[in-house]
Amino acid sequence: MNAVAVTGLSVAAPNGLGTDNFWEATKNGVSGIGPVTRFDATPYPARLAGEVPGFVAADHLASRLLPQTDHMTRIALVTADWALDDAGVKPGDIDEFDMGVVTASSAGGYEFGQNELQALWSKGSQYVSAYQSFAWFYAVNSGQISIRHGMRGPSGVVVSDQAGGLDAIAHARRQIRKGSKLILSGGVDASICPWGWAAQLAGGRLSTVNDATTAFLPFDAAAGGHVSGEGGALLVLEDAQEAGRRGSHVYGEIAGYGSTFDLRTESGGSSGLERAVRVALADARVGADAVDVVFADAAAVPELDRAEAQAIGAVFGARGVPVTAPKTMTGRLNSGGAPLDVVAALLSIRDGVIPPTVNVTAAPELELDLVTQARAVPVRTALVLARGQGGFNSALVVRG
């Protein structure tokens, strides 16, 4: 089967807008977690978030797009522009039906939806924007990107919480193997608004610690939930042969993927996450010894951290592989989190450096080789893990 190459990428992360800003901060352990500024979070139990700094939509997007887009869609549109630009794709380079968009979403345009619900209940139905019909919708980022760039090939959206970011990239890979030349994929999410906050708090996994350096401590004995963030990453995927013909710069290859769903009760045997890892490695035709680094899901919920450490230990052995969670600098970005880790993995491969997990002292009984200072080592193959609330497990292998 044809290899699928990453030929462009772009980032909007809480610790850096744009790939270079993100990567510079990430390598240096600079966190973007701070007090919520997008709304008054003081009455809420969780008051910290990772917010994308310096994003002014009107600087990048025409006024025609603003009344019809949620904050997350605006970030996604700009990130998509940058990713396509990074891949050197110009309109007309590739037939419009050979290019598609497959993104992940966790909640759709929450802030937009909240504003329209407020209008509905406080003023009446005639005050609800006509654009509510699609602006809230899960598939809206894929749709708006597709319209903006005339990408009319296979497109869609995957909704499986945090795992969705990997599931979308895997689906994009599938579409390229079926004949599409280029698919833009990944995820950009944001729901830092009262309604989004209420929903995330109801999920029961948000940290209520209000010190930015101790609020999100995956694999630490003090782990007590995560900080939520906004943003994510988009990647340009191309058939490797086509990319070669176009003379594209190649960051790496999407080499393997596995996804599983948790059983209602794990009955001894291997966990869903472990099975996903094994499927992904088999798909990439590599053994565990070929993996140079694992980008962890890093839930920061004690039993989930334990389950992840066990899955990694079962496949790689005790302290058998470097493990990192740069999301300790951004918070968990819902569907945007795993694509951001995929970008970090590709840049680790490019630069020979594993970015750190910040603020964390790994609990010794987890037997992880947790990277807490940037580590300069050659990286050729990386494994990215992502779990979605409700039982989704996904694993993706990227190779330089």
Partner 1 sequence: MSDKAFHLNDLRRILRAGAGTPEGVDLDSDILDTEFEVLGYESLALLETCGRIEREYGISLDDDLVVDATTPRAVIDLVNEQLSVGSV
The residue (of 75 and 395) whose beta carbon lies closer to partner 1 is 75
The residue (of 63 and 265) whose beta carbon lies closer to partner 1 is 63
Q: Are 269 and 372 in contact (CB under 8 A)?
A: no
Nearest approach in angstroms of CB 63 to partner 1 is 4
| Stretch (H or E) spanning 294 | strand 293-295
Nearest approach in angstroms of CB 147 to partner 1 is 10
Nearest approach in angstroms of CB 159 to partner 1 is 24
Nearest approach in angstroms of CB 73 to partner 1 is 14
Nearest approach in angstroms of CB 109 to partner 1 is 15
The 10 Å Cβ neighbour count of residue 364 is: 8
Nearest approach in angstroms of CB 328 to partner 1 is 39
The residue (of 66 and 376) whose beta carbon lies closer to partner 1 is 66
Binding segment toward partner 1, per CB under 8 A, in 62-70, 103-111, 175-183, 214-222 = 62-70
Nearest approach in angstroms of CB 127 to partner 1 is 7
Among 54, 67, 179, 317, binds partner 1 (CB under 8 A): 67
Q: Tell me the C-alpha to C-alpha distance, in Å, between residue 247 and each of 6, 158, 243, 398.
A: 13, 30, 6, 20
Nearest approach in angstroms of CB 126 to partner 1 is 5
The residue (of 133 and 361) whose beta carbon lies closer to partner 1 is 133
The residue (of 133 and 213) whose beta carbon lies closer to partner 1 is 133
**How many residues of this chain bind partner 1 (CB under 8 A)?**
13
SS3 content of the chain, % helix, strand, coil (to 5): 40, 20, 40
Q: Tell me the C-alpha to C-alpha distance, in Å, between residue 106 and each of 77, 230, 285, 340, 374.
A: 17, 11, 31, 15, 30
Residues whose CB falls within 8 Å of the CB of residue 42, separated by 6 or more in sequence, listed in order: none
**What span, in angstroms and rounded, lies between the C-alpha atoms of 22 and 20?**
5
Under DSSP, is residue 102 helix (H, G, I), strand (E, B) or coil?
A: strand
Q: Are 98 and 152 in contact (CB under 8 A)?
A: no
Q: Is 44 exposed, middle or buried (0-12, 13-18, 19+ CB in 10 A)?
A: middle
Q: Tell me the C-alpha to C-alpha distance, in Å, between residue 162 and each of 44, 192, 293, 348, 393.
A: 23, 16, 20, 21, 9
Residue 150 in the binding site for partner 1 (CB under 8 A): no
Residue 66 in the binding site for partner 1 (CB under 8 A): yes
- Reference 279, options 307, 256, 252, 309; nearest CA is 256
The amino acid at 89: V
Nearest approach in angstroms of CB 393 to partner 1 is 39
Reduced 3-state DSSP string for 236-265: EEEEHHHHHHHCCCCCEEEEEEEEEECCCC
What string marks each residue from 123 to 142 as x (binds partner 1 by CB under 8 A) or -?
---xx-xxx-x---------
**Rg, the chain, Cα only:** 20
Q: Are 396 and 162 in contact (CB under 8 A)?
A: no
What string marks each residue from 69 to 108 as x (binds partner 1 by CB under 8 A) or -?
----------------------------------------
The residue (of 58 and 198) whose beta carbon lies closer to partner 1 is 58
Among 56, 59, 64, 364, binds partner 1 (CB under 8 A): 64
The residue (of 132 and 180) whose beta carbon lies closer to partner 1 is 132
Binding segment toward partner 1, per CB under 8 A, in 59-67, 194-202, 282-290, 310-318 = 59-67
Q: What is the DSSP letter of 141?
A: H
Nearest approach in angstroms of CB 121 to partner 1 is 16
Binding segment toward partner 1, per CB under 8 A, in 72-80, 122-130, 360-368, 391-399 = 122-130
Residue 65 in the binding site for partner 1 (CB under 8 A): yes
Binding segment toward partner 1, per CB under 8 A, in 121-129, 252-260, 298-306, 338-346 = 121-129
Binding segment toward partner 1, per CB under 8 A, in 16-24, 63-71, 307-315, 376-384 = 63-71
Q: Are 72 and 191 in contact (CB under 8 A)?
A: yes
Using CB under 8 A as the criterion, which residues of the chain lie in contact with partner 1 when the complex forms? 62-68, 126-127, 129-131, 133
